């Protein structure tokens, strides 16, 4: 009898199901059962367990647009308007922040009968950057290891830190079935007010380089202070062993400053997407470091797609 058939037979004998409301994912020698009211999912742990230390505390932070997603979500939704409407909004000089400009597009969409469902559908059509499914699979596998006794002290926290908004982030997590592996997210606030989306600041800050709505340096530092005093409040002298930030944009430079300043047991890592703004901020066209890169005290690596990034994560972060 095959491994899969044997597993199904054992589950049926244990739970007496008339039908089979469960899934088998990647059969191998290890398994993890997640029970809910509607179904049983068997996750097979097929990761090389030597890839991660049994007692490491790791924090992995992802930007979303042009990083997890292969497009910019705020730009994508503009196609829901006509060219004339897009130009009208883009050419206004009344915006004091990114949130003001995004809200101007939402105002125009409401006027033109574009619904929130229309916006959600467009956001959920944006593809993941190639290879990110592999990264999410690896993260899920590592989180499942915590259910094994010898890995019970392994902590991998995953966060999205996005300059989009919380509704977009939620829709992306939902679409790609990764709500179970992303522990937290930070982004602009977003509310549905009479059928129209309205975004607002995440916090106030004094950074001169960032949009007034969000500074990723302050967001990361505040987040870590908070998690140490909440989730890990009963862990004596808790601190992360490594922090990894993955991003592409100009506002991700402040994230690099944050992880440069945070004291950990090993060196933190900034993983920069090739050919995007952050890459050009840090290196010239010949690959020589610019002054901004020399300010950062973290390790820096470059990636082009999720497959390359997955190798970087395995080589430079997990081990």
- Write out 248-315 in H/E/C secondary structure: CCHHHHHHHHHHHHCCCCCCCEEEEECCCHHHHHHECCCCCECHHHHHCCCEEEEECCHHHHHHHHHH
CB of 240 closer than 8 Å to CB of 58: yes
pLDDT at residue 146, as a whole number? 83
pLDDT at residue 45, as a whole number? 64
Digit-coded pLDDT (tens) for 133-188: 999 999 998 888 888 888 888 899 999 999 999 999 999 999 999 999 999 999 99
Q: Which two tokens stand for residue 128?
A: 């993941």
Q: Measure the CA–CA gap between 123 and 162, rounded to whole angstroms.
A: 14
Which contacts (CB < 8 Å, 24+ apart) does range 145-149 have?
145/45, 145/47, 145/49, 145/52, 147/32, 148/45
Instruction: Over range 44-64, report the average pLDDT.
Output: 78
How many angstroms separate the Cα of 169 from the Cα of each of 69, 114, 137?
A: 11, 20, 19
Please report where in the chains the tokens 């970087």 appear, as a residue. 312
Cα of 223 vs its chain's centroid, Å: 14
Is the pLDDT at 73 greater than 60? The verdict is: yes
pLDDT at residue 51, as a whole number? 67
pLDDT at residue 315, as a whole number? 86
Question: What number of other Cβ atoms are within 10 A of residue 97's Cβ?
Answer: 16
pLDDT at residue 55, as a whole number? 67
Is the pLDDT at 41 greater than 60? The verdict is: no
Instruction: Over range 193-210, report the average pLDDT.
Output: 95
Q: How does the average pLDDT of the chain come out, rounded? A: 87
Maximum distance among all alpha carbons in the chain?
A: 70
Please report where in the chains the tokens 């997990």 appear, as a residue. 318
Instruction: Over range 207-236, report the average pLDDT.
Output: 94
Q: Which two tokens stand for residue 83?
A: 């060219």
pLDDT at residue 26, as a whole number? 41
Q: Measure the CA–CA gap between 139 and 90, rounded to whole angstroms.
A: 39
Element (H, E) at 79: none
Is the pLDDT at 111 greater than 90? The verdict is: yes
Q: Is 192 helix (H, G, I), strand (E, B) or coil?
A: strand
Instruction: Over range 70-88, report the average pLDDT.
Output: 97
pLDDT band at 264 (very low <50, low <70, confident <90, very high): confident
The count of C-alpha atoms lying within 13 angstroms of the C-alpha of 35, restricted to the half-sphere facing its C-beta, is 2
Is the pLDDT at 316 greater than 70? The verdict is: yes
Element (H, E) at 188: none
pLDDT at residue 115, as a whole number? 98
Q: Which two tokens stand for residue 27?
A: 């059969």
Is the pLDDT at 102 greater than 90? The verdict is: yes
pLDDT at residue 46, as a whole number? 65
pLDDT at residue 93, as a whole number? 83
Q: Measure the CA–CA gap between 249 and 106, rounded to whole angstroms.
A: 23
Q: Is 211 helix (H, G, I), strand (E, B) or coil?
A: coil
Percent of the chain with pLDDT over 70: 82
Which superfamily, per CATH, for 49-72+128-318? HAD superfamily/HAD-like (3.40.50.1000)
Q: Measure the CA–CA gap between 215 and 201, rounded to whole angstroms.
A: 10
Q: Which two tokens stand for residue 153?
A: 């002290």
Q: Measure the CA–CA gap between 297 and 132, rounded to whole angstroms.
A: 27
- Is 18 exposed, middle or buried (CB count within 10 Å of its CB: 0-12, 13-18, 19+)? exposed
Digit-coded pLDDT (tens) for 234-260: 988 899 999 999 999 999 999 999 999
Please report where in the chains the tokens 């969409």 appear, as a residue. 109
pLDDT band at 16 (very low <50, low <70, confident <90, very high): very low
Is the pLDDT at 60 greater than 90? The verdict is: yes
Percent of the chain with pLDDT over 90: 71
List the domain boundaries for the chain: 3-44, 49-72+128-318, 74-124
Element (H, E) at 100: helix 98-111
Of 173, 162, 273, the residue nearest 216 (C-alpha): 162
Is the pLDDT at 18 greater than 50? The verdict is: no
pLDDT at residue 44, as a whole number? 61
Of 230, 49, 258, the residue nearest 157 (C-alpha): 230
């Amino acid at each position: 009898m095959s491994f899969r058939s044997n597993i199904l037979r054992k589950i049926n004998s244990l739970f007496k199901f008339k039908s089979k409301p469960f899934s088998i994912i990647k059969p191998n020698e290890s398994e993890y059962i997640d029970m809910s009211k509607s179904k049983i999912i068997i996750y097979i742990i097929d990761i090389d367990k030597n890839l991660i230390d049994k007692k490491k505390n790791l924090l992995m932070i992802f930007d979303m647009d042009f990083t997890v997603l292969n497009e910019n979500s705020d730009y994508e939704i503009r196609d829901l308007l006509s060219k004339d409407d897009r130009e009208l909004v883009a050419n206004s000089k009344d915006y004091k922040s990114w949130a003001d400009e995004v809200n101007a597009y939402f105002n125009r969409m409401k006027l033109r009968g574009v619904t929130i469902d229309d916006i959600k559908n467009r956001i959920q059509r944006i593809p993941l950057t190639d290879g990110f499914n592999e990264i999410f699979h690896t993260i899920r596998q590592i989180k499942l290891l915590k259910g094994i006794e010898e890995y019970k002290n392994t902590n991998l926290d995953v966060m999205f830190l996005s300059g989009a908004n919380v509704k977009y982030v939620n829709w992306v997590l939902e679409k790609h079935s990764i709500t179970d592996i992303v522990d937290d997210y930070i982004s602009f606030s977003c509310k549905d007010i009479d059928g129209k989306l309205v975004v607002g600041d995440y916090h106030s800050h004094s950074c001169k380089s960032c949009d007034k709505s969000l500074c990723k340096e302050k967001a990361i530092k505040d987040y870590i202070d908070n998690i140490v005093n909440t989730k890990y409040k009963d862990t004596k002298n808790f601190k992360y062993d490594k922090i990894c930030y993955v991003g592409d944009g100009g506002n991700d430079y402040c994230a690099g400053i944050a992880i440069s300043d945070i004291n950990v047991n090993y060196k933190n890592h900034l993983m920069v997407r090739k050919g995007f703004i952050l890459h050009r901020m840090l290196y010239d066209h010949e690959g020589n470091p610019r002054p901004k890169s020399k300010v950062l005290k973290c390790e820096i690596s470059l990636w082009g797609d999720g497959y390359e990034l997955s190798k970087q994560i395995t080589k430079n972060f997990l081990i």
